[in-house]
Amino acid sequence: MSEAIMELERLDELKKLVRDVPDFPKKGIIFKDITTLLKDAKSFRASVNTLVGAIQGTLAGGVKAAPIDQVVGIESRGFIFGPVLAYLLGTGFVPVRKKGKLPSRTEQVSYELEYGTDILEIHQDALEPGQRVLVVDDLLATGGTAQAVSKLIGKLGAKVCGFTFLVELEFLKGRDKLGGYPVFSVLKY
Ligand code: AMP
């Protein structure tokens, strides 16, 4: 069997472990629950290895996003893969959190949700000007959250050098909002 076909089969196995939860958190949304994949040791490891491979540009079609100075994770499920990637890439980890959670001085960005707006924050001293930042979250949907985080990183004078997600809902075209940046996702729906 060719390596490309083995890779596709492996990704198909991973996809089967993501659980669809209809009408969560509200009616009409099909929530992609990754806890069913995370609890499976081999699948968790395969997901992390695929992300690292893509970041280091070793996968066919992978995104060459290295060298990276810092990994930024988006609350809250970006805190699952973000620190693991930071550890493996040998960088620090910087959390972006929802309003009111970070204790020191912050920069803020507000962004549109389906109903109303929300605010994300980063510590003002979390990144140095010019640092190259990889942004990590579990899932790319409309791209509004990731786009807001790229603005936050820009406010500190740092540069986004790529985005990685475990899951991408391609039909929502979130990638279009992240135009110009390399984007890598493991499982596409
Ligand atoms: P968006 O800003 O639309 O790209 O939404 C991305 C954020 O919302 C991520 O942090 C996801 O964890 C969460 N999210 C959005 N849609 C879903 C979904 N269908 N299933 C699971 N998480 C979702």
Measured between alpha carbons, how far is 168 from 186 in angstroms, rounded to an integer?
8
Q: For ligand 1, is residue 141 a contact (CB within 6 Å)?
A: yes
Q: Which domain holds residue 44?
A: 3-188
Question: How many other CB atoms sit within 10 Å of the CB of residue 43?
Answer: 19
Mean pLDDT over the full length of the chain: 92
Known catalytic residues are 77, 114
Q: Is 143 in the pocket of ligand 1 (CB under 6 A)?
A: yes
User: Smallest Cα–Cα separation from 189: which of 168, 163, 172?
Assistant: 168
Nearest CA to ligand 1 atom 5: 141
Q: Provide mean pLDDT across the span 60-69.
A: 64
pLDDT tens, 14-34?
999 999 999 999 999 999 999
User: What whole-number distance in Å separates Cα of residue 25 and Cα of residue 95?
Assistant: 24
Task: Give residue 113's pLDDT.
Answer: 84
C-beta contacts of 32-38 below 8 A and 24+ residues apart: 32/139, 32/167, 32/169, 32/189, 34/77, 34/80, 34/138, 34/139, 34/166, 34/167, 37/166, 38/80
For the cut 80, the answer to whether the pLDDT of residue 176 exceeds it is yes
In the chain, the number of structural domains is: 1
Tokens of 84: 């693991």
Question: Of all residues in the chain, what percent carry a pLDDT higher than 70?
Answer: 95
Give dist(CA 55, CA 67) in Å, integer: 9
pLDDT at residue number 64: 55
CATH code of residue 179: 3.40.50.2020
Q: Decide: 142 in ligand 1 pocket, CB within 6 A.
A: yes
Determine the average pLDDT of the residues in 130-144: 97
